[in-house]
Structure 1
């Protein structure tokens, strides 16, 4: 069994495992409101895999983390979802994924982790309900299942308010348009504004044409 960072090649198997573990309506849960239009923390999304008799990689488990904001000012991580293949749920694989990822999160400098899950299970990893008693979630959740963990002692002291989504990274529209377009289309976008400065049939090599092109390019 190996624990490695999640790769795009794992995506289909992960979605299948999550659907079988939580049902196809899992996206309607409150925690998914905090994940909408926000990318997971790629350096903290891990998979547990093994190899079958044919040498093919088999997904055994998955764990993901998402950036969130506490009280609109404090950065934190939200653990979940975590799912284990039913055939391997009695092997302690979930605990291995949680401990491995929490150690990685602490090494990367993260200070706070929150989650919504079964308290008797997560208490063994240090999660506590009272650490998030002054925080609320943007939707219905059993309060006993809302828990927090301080990766740095005192990180949740005095933190209050609503848990909100992290702000999506800004995308440079112009850069996306050029890289996503076909080479021929990109050439048209860059050349047309320049050559529009020249009269139809103009000699491109003439001194006048060159001066006009230089002015149009400024």
Structure 2
């Protein structure tokens, strides 16, 4: 007779399919399974139709509900067991295993503070350079962004728009400076930029 169940060699439980055996193994850490000709018990309550897979289950059902009559449908439900793991389950497992490693992460331009960006553009910086400076200086202040530009002026990618993974695409923090303070800060920074450029020229000529 062909096998109609899988029997756990560790606890004796009868399981109707490979999926059930996998679930049982995950829950109990049991790993010793063999094909069995013993069918999984199928006692159906004649009052409510609940299926019970063991005498213990039917006894508990009787205690809870008072139902005492069960129809034994074990042989009706018994069918030769397939040892093949369902294709759909296999494919989903493979997809989960592959996960994000097979799919490139979506990249987006980071959000930066619009006022800081406008200030930097007003000072003559290209949009990409200004965005890069604000992002990499932490979206904190105009001074920090200009300092970053001064330090990274020689970077080959300084005029490339920065890109970050979509899950890190967070809204930029807002500056705490008033418009008047921003204007003063911009004037200071323009002076600082001029001095920096003059220093760079002197350094190159020496």
Q: TM-score range by the shorter chain?
A: under 0.3
Would you tell me which structure has more helix in proportion to its own residues? 2
What is the TM-score of this pair, normalised by structure 1? 0.22
What is the TM-score of this pair, normalised by structure 2? 0.23
Would you tell me which structure has more strand in proportion to its own residues? 1
Q: Which has the larger radius of gyration?
A: 2
Give the structure, 1 or 2, with the largest relative contact order (CA under 8 Å, sep 6 or more): 1
